[in-house]
Structure 1
Amino acid sequence: MLSATCHVLAQVLRKPRAPSRVAWRCLPVPGARSCAGQSEKAGEPRTFHPALLRVLVCPLSKKPLRYEASTNELINDELGIAYPIIDGIPNMIPQAARTTRQDKKQEEAEQH
């Protein structure tokens, strides 16, 4: 009985299957844009899409974040931390965030 089940399973796995609906949406099509909706030109870095700010919140405080284009970071002004954005993807791990309050204190000290 086990060998019969293995035989049927082997036949099913050998049959070519059509890609799922999700796979069809993400399959590369010549001249089409990628799944992320951005071009994939060689050497062109992915950028953060500001529309994501509507759904992203700080994992620590659950408050909305602010996008800072000059540093390419998501800023939580309340906690004074900044999450880096790498290749268009926000790194929302708290350990990867840097503090921004120390930077403000240093700037104030340098100005006086």
Structure 2
Amino acid sequence: MLSAACRGIASVLRGARAPPPPPLPPPFLRRCLRATGSPSLAGRSERAEEPPRTFDPALLEFLVCPLSKKPLRYEASTNELINEELGIAYPIIDGIPNMIPQAARTTHQNKKQEETEQH
């Protein structure tokens, strides 16, 4: 009886097909991944070193400051997203904006305003 069960399992395994590939991401996400130069999952194992990812300014259409909900400005020289109104800058690390308010730094413009108000 056991050998019959083993033969049945073996025949099922021989005729088994590979699982279907995972579904493609939505078109918007595919465009963002292509624009940022993100490699496909298959290409990751083939590449020893990946070039550093850069921020895609097209994402500014969708990103806003988590505190004020206002649009942000991309500053390429410092690789940050700037909120002019609050005077804070969110760092971009490996092409990904760190939008956590505690990670933001105050900009020099904001410090100058504080000094002017104190005098």
TM range (shorter): 0.5 to 0.7
From the superposition, tell whether residues 45 and 102 of structure 1 become closer, same or farther in structure 2 (CA, over 3 Å).
same
* Greater C-alpha radius of gyration: 2
| TM-score, length of structure 2 as denominator length | 0.59
User: Which structure's residues are more often helix, by fraction?
Assistant: 2
Contact map agreement 2:87 2:110 (CA 8 A) in 1: no
Once residues 67 and 73 of structure 1 are traced to their aligned partners in structure 2, the CA distance between those partners, rounded to angstroms, is: 6
**Residue of structure 2 in register with 1:95 after alignment:** 102
The TM-score, its normalising length taken from structure 1, stands at 0.62
SS in 2 for 1:19: coil
Structure 1 position 103, deviation (Å): 6.7
SS in 1 for 2:24: helix
Does 1:77 find its partner at 2:84? yes
Question: Where does residue 22 of structure 1 map in the other structure?
Answer: 24
**Matches of 2:67 and 2:38, distance apart in 1:** 33
What 5-or-longer segments of structure 1 have no aligned partner? 1-13, 26-34
Secondary structure of the equivalent of 1:85?
A: strand
- In structure 2, runs of 5+ residues without a counterpart are 1-15, 40-46
Q: Which residue of 1 aligns with 2:6?
A: none
How many residues are treated as equivalent by the alignment?
Answer: 86
